[in-house]
Chains A and B, each alone.
Chain A
Amino acid sequence: MSIIEIKNISFSYNNVDLALNDVSLSIPQGNYVTIVGHNGSGKSTIAKCIIGLLQTSQGEIIVDGLTLNNENIDAIRSKVGLVFQNPDNQFIGSTVKDDIAFGLENHRVDPKLMDEIIDRFAKAVNMSDYLNFEPTKLSGGQKQRVAIAGALSMTPKILILDEATSMLDPKGKSEVNDLVKQLHSQTNMTIISITHDIEEAYQSDIVYVMNEGRIIEFGDPKDILAKEVLLKSIKLDIPFALKFKFALNKVGIIVDDTSLEGMVKEL
């Protein structure tokens, strides 16, 4: 079953250029999908359309069975957690703690449970020591951690991450990815991750490739992300493991595996 169904939507910020041009997609419930595409290809615009922050000029968006319209917008927003590309655009509370609490209040979480939830998620992203700090006065990576904790604490049915880990150190990034994957398997949360990290896209269930406001490819990352000529022509790249595989092919060594470990074993 699709948890998000987008049918032929278009969007323009200025009534001239189309930031989204007849986009359709269908995301299966419980999948971990990634969206890749060049700067300005329309990725963040899609995310904002899904939660009704931007209104499409045509087409239809259906989230968990509900068609996006004035009547359903609140119900849809309660199902979707979105971590913005710039975490500063997200903070409302004057402390990290208040900020997470604010989101929980909005989701009508029992106040008695709040402290426990806040502590748990602050700990999960390694920010327990900063609960009384002002979110806007943190380092870049710390801001991203707080924004992620805020979205996760509401355990939304659908989580959209818009380059949410772009400024984390690699270890922090993999810790957050593990946390997301854990919630994903425990709660069957659907994850949509917008990313420039081709290695991350390589690990997802489905990858969508955007170019100039359109989705031009989607499917299994093992197939899609092997299309070197196509991807390079739209400012993208292929995963390192596939670069190695192709380099071996070029000198006449054929390997079947698609992971570095596997290929080295075959050599």
Chain B
Amino acid sequence: MIIQVEKLSYEYSPNSVFAYHALKDVTTSVREGSFTAIVGATGSGKSTLVQHFNALITPTGGSLTVDGKLIVANQKVKELKPLRKKVGLVFQFPEYQLFEETILKDVMFGPLNFGVTVDDARAIAQESLIRVGLDSTFYERSPLELSGGQKRRVAIAGILALSPKILVLDEPTAGLDPEGSASMMSLFQNLNASGTTIIMITHDLNHVLNYATDVIMLDQGVVVFEGSKETFFNETDLHEDYGLVKPPLLELRSLLKEAKISFNAHTLDINILAQSIKEGKHD
């Protein structure tokens, strides 16, 4: 397990009237090399959980171990830098991650901070920007004077530039256009195939269906499911209670099943599905 969370609790503004227990005694884990999706309703604690993974916040109870590094409640984490290099976190709101004067500088910041030379940092930044679909016309522009989807791309590029061992993404495709969303997902899939552990918060069960290997589901600060993607989708009635809705492909499969039409129930490819319906008709 690359991340092991043990009885972790997190309380916002403890000892005040606004005290709020966002995570309650959470025990869960993330497999090394997995593509783990974290799902759950609005306010269930997803963003709070993942902010622990690079010690942006630390538990108010319990502990976690991230790639061998133990983080315990009420104890200042020493030597954060190696952890920050290892675990890259892309925020839910990209604005809070952008601060340099130009986009190129913004993406170079991470590598420079970890001791890469200016020339190398520039090359890494340019490469990262290309991967998120931003060409050289963007380099000298301000990262804050962009459209919503463009800001998200810069924020993702900034984290990619660190080549983290664990990439944590908080709703990375929210606000991206359909092509941007698809190409970002295949970028994450490629990184995963070459060994990066991916942890992704999403409300889009299509992405879970197509890309994830494992799923963790939260509800009101508690883990209510953890296991393989296959198990997750087979226990389908789980979804609606927790704010989720079936992806259209699974909706279609249920409709076909109800109508007693035979089809290939294993494919994720709509053309193969259609072909199997045609073949079924001749039987």
Kindly state whether residue B99 has any CB partner on chain A within 8 Å.
no
Which stretch of A65-73, A105-113, A152-160, A233-241 is in the interface?
A233-241
Which stretch of B3-11, B58-66, B69-77, B172-180 is in the interface?
B172-180
Q: Give chain A interface residues in 129-173, CB to chain B under 8 Å.
A: 133-134, 137-142, 145, 163, 166-173
Which stretch of A1-9, A22-30, A33-41, A56-64 is in the interface?
A33-41
Given contacts A139-B43, A247-B271, A247-B273, contact A39 B248 (CB under 8 A): no
CB-CB under 8 A from B261, the residues of chain A are 264, 267
A38 to B271 alpha-carbon distance, docked (Å): 26
User: A139, A232, A265: which contacts B259 (Cβ < 8 A)?
Assistant: A265
Given contacts A39-B147, A174-B245, contact A88 B93 (CB under 8 A): yes
CB-CB under 8 A from A172, the residues of chain B are 41-42, 243
User: B148, B243, B252, B256: which contacts A169 (Cβ < 8 A)?
Assistant: B243
Whether A247 pairs with B270 at a CB distance below 8 angstroms is yes
User: A199, A235, A250: which contacts B179 (Cβ < 8 A)?
Assistant: A235
Which stretch of B114-122, B123-131, B274-282 is in the interface?
B274-282
* Chain A contact patch, size range: 35 or more
B interface majority secondary structure: helix
**Chain A 41-82 interface 0/1 with B at a Cβ cutoff of 8 Å (1 = within):** 001100000000000000000000000000000000000000
Kindly state whether residue B79 has any CB partner on chain A within 8 Å.
no
* Chain B contact patch, size range: 35 or more
CB-CB under 8 A from B180, the residues of chain A are 38-39, 235
A203 to B106 alpha-carbon distance, docked (Å): 39
Q: Which A residue sits closest to B43, measured CB to CB?
A: A139
Most buried by B among A37, A251, A252: A251
Whether A244 pairs with B47 at a CB distance below 8 angstroms is no
Whether B148 pairs with A167 at a CB distance below 8 angstroms is no
A142 to B46 alpha-carbon distance, docked (Å): 13
Given contacts A44-B148, A260-B251, A267-B259, contact A171 B245 (CB under 8 A): yes
CB-CB under 8 A from B245, the residues of chain A are 170-171, 174
Kindly state whether residue A116 has any CB partner on chain B within 8 Å.
no
Shortest beta-carbon distance from A220 to chain B in Å: 20
Kindly state whether residue B244 has any CB partner on chain A within 8 Å.
yes
Q: Give chain B interface residues in 181-231, CB to chain A under 8 Å.
A: 181-182, 203, 205
CB-CB under 8 A from A138, the residues of chain B are 43
Whether B252 pairs with A260 at a CB distance below 8 angstroms is yes
Kindly state whether residue B32 has any CB partner on chain A within 8 Å.
no
Most buried by A among B146, B147, B150, B153: B147
CB-CB under 8 A from A141, the residues of chain B are 41-43
Whether A37 pairs with B251 at a CB distance below 8 angstroms is no
Kindly state whether residue B164 has any CB partner on chain A within 8 Å.
no
A265 to B83 alpha-carbon distance, docked (Å): 55
Q: Which B residue sits closest to A199, measured CB to CB?
A: B248
Given contacts A196-B177, A267-B277, contact A170 B153 (CB under 8 A): no
CB-CB under 8 A from B175, the residues of chain A are 39, 85, 163, 166, 196
A8 to B207 alpha-carbon distance, docked (Å): 39
Given contacts A253-B274, A264-B255, contact A166 B243 (CB under 8 A): no
A-B pairs with beta carbons under 8 Å apart, 15 shown: A39-B149, A39-B176, A137-B18, A139-B42, A140-B42, A166-B174, A168-B42, A172-B243, A235-B177, A236-B177, A240-B249, A244-B270, A247-B270, A248-B277, A267-B261
**Besides the known contacts A134-B18, A137-B12, A170-B245, 19 further A-B residue pairs in the complex with CB atoms under 8 A apart:** A38-B179, A39-B147, A39-B150, A86-B95, A86-B148, A141-B41, A141-B43, A167-B171, A170-B244, A171-B240, A172-B41, A235-B180, A236-B178, A250-B274, A251-B271, A260-B255, A264-B261, A265-B259, A267-B277
Please give the residue numbers on chain A whose beta carbons come within 8 Å of chain B beta carbons, in ascending order.
Answer: 13, 37-40, 43-44, 85-86, 88, 133-134, 137-142, 145, 163, 166-174, 196, 198-199, 232, 235-237, 240-241, 243-244, 247-248, 250-253, 260-261, 264-265, 267
